[in-house]
A and B are shown apart, each in its own frame.
Chain A
Amino acid sequence: MPAIKSLEELKRVREEALHKKQMKAAAGNVQVIVAMGTCGIAAGARDTMKSVLNFIEKNNLSGVTVTQTGCMGMCEQEPILQVVIGEGAKVVYGKVNTEIAEQIMKQHVQNGTPVKDYVLPI
């Protein structure tokens, strides 16, 4: 196991990330929440999650917190994804496949404009 070597590398990566984060901190915190109840997972929520994480990686998007929630009682709308920017209101999206997740990440999380077509009226 090259565990030690990896950890050395991780420390280096962390230092670099810390530096970048300090530069981006002004943008405010964004929270992306994926519903991962049995219904969500069966409907493809893990792929939605993967798409969100891929976007962050590919676009070097700093300051995004990704979390999960359970079944929200709207199983027919799964996969459900929520976006909260700073102190703003929660925006809930339904039937979020990998493509829509990418669109939400780009338009809403990165540029601050909700993707109206997929917002659930709650």
Chain B
Amino acid sequence: MREISLHLLDIAENSVAAQSHRVCIEVHENLQSDLLTASVTDDGRGMNEETAKQVLDPFYTTRTTRKVGLGIPLLKLAAEMAEGGLSLVTESGKGTKVEAVFRHSHIDRMPLGDLAVTFLTLLVSYPHIHWVFIYQITDRDGQNSNFNFDDVELKAALGDMSMTEPDILRFVRGIFEEGIQSLAHQTVN
């Protein structure tokens, strides 16, 4: 994986597989504390203590059950390479939260990448899931700016209209691209 947003897509796939109803992806670039935090929180079936320990092991995955996969160990490694780490909070029957923290300025911190496409891909492919996307930037002076997306209003307005109808797709892509780009330029300075 070359981007944090690809990892997020991958981890979110686990949430979908765990029969979640609501999945929240949150990215926080904090230039004041020099941290990049990325998390995926779901209300899926969760894991018991034993399984939660095993998913951090890349050789745990058994193809027949395939509860998680290489995804979590890969993200853990990526975070550790950038002076960060991965935490996994889960409860059987309640849900799971996977959070990766990176040192923002670390030379080995992979780029955030195309967050807009990750969001669009998930929203369009899994319309039955309630998606919440949060992207926040805190600048060096501690000023916050946010992009918050909750699909409830969008879906209510769409009714039974498919999100892959070209006009709708164009509209939704526009929301993500404009919303994220308007924030993202702030991290360059």
Contact = CB atoms under 8 A, between A and B. Distances in A.
A14 B169 contact: no
A36 B9 contact: yes
A3 B164 contact: no
B157 A53 contact: no
A24 to B, nearest CB: 10
B74 A38 contact: yes
B165 A17 contact: yes
Interface string B139-174: 000000000100001100111011011111111010
Interface in B1-57: 1, 6, 9-10, 13, 17
Interface residues of B, number: 38
Given A53-B173, A61-B166, A68-B126, A14 B74 contact: no
B71 interface: yes
B160 to A, nearest CB: 10
Given A41-B6, A66-B124, A71 B165 contact: no
Interface in A41-67: 41-42, 46, 49-50, 53, 56-57, 59-62, 64-67
B157 A14 contact: yes
B120 A53 contact: yes
Contact of A7 (B114, B153, B162, B169): B153
A42 to B, nearest CB: 6
Nearest to B175: A6
Contacts of A65: 162, 164
B70 interface: yes
A3 B153 contact: yes
Contacts of B120: 53
A70 B118 CA distance: 16
Contact of A46 (B117, B157, B166): B117
Contacts of B165: 17, 20-21, 62
A42 B142 CA distance: 35
A7 B171 CA distance: 10
A20 B167 contact: yes
Interface residues of A, number: 38
B95 interface: no
A17 to B, nearest CB: 4
A14 B6 contact: no
B121 interface: yes
A114 interface: no
A51 B123 CA distance: 16
B63 interface: yes
A54 to B, nearest CB: 9
Contact of B168 (A17, A46, A73): A17
22 contacts: A1-B148, A6-B175, A7-B154, A7-B157, A10-B154, A10-B171, A17-B161, A21-B161, A21-B165, A36-B9, A38-B70, A41-B1, A46-B118, A49-B121, A50-B121, A53-B124, A56-B166, A56-B169, A59-B166, A60-B167, A65-B162, A73-B63
